[in-house]
Amino acid sequence: SSSSTSSSSSSFAVVAGPSGGALPVMMDAARFAELAQMMTLPHQLVPRFASHLKLPRPLENLAKAAAEQLTRLELLTGKPPQLQAATAIYLAHFLFPRCKATKEGICKEAKVSGANMLRCFKDISPHWKSLIPADTQAKVGENTLSALLSQ
């Protein structure tokens, strides 16, 4: 088991030493950032992105639930968490037609390409019933959701 810590002058990871004690290991900043990113889950990014995009709380909550399901179901395994979070927000935004969120705005905030996000959306859209909570599906209606999410 390893944990990472960062100070203002250097980055290090704490790993188990030969006798089981903690042993700090120096690593370059790029590797540290890479490890830190791997520990970030998509649903943890949704609130920050949603806040910066000024999205309504119900949209944020729906996107967060979808992002949690993406992780649980391993639908976008290997994709960066920023891309997964952006894709979950993009999925959720279809259920809020008055919301001013755009594909470009979501991608800019998440620092991902529109083409990559659309590819991920295409990959997950057949699984929308597993990503959108049942109560939301009941409120919106299956026919409406099928029409919205097969775009």
For residue 33, name the pLDDT band (cuts at 50, 70, 90): low
Tokens of 74: 């391993």
Q: pTM for the full model? A: 0.73
pLDDT in tens, 59-107: 999 999 999 999 999 999 899 999 999 999 999 999 998 888 999 999 9
pLDDT (0 to 100) of residue 8: 42
Question: Crossing angle of helices 42-52/103-110, nearest 10°?
Answer: 120
Radius of gyration of the chain (CA): 18
Examine the pLDDT at 21 and tell me if it is beyond 70. no
Examine the pLDDT at 50 and tell me if it is beyond 50. yes
pLDDT (0 to 100) of residue 150: 65
Examine the pLDDT at 41 and tell me if it is beyond 70. yes
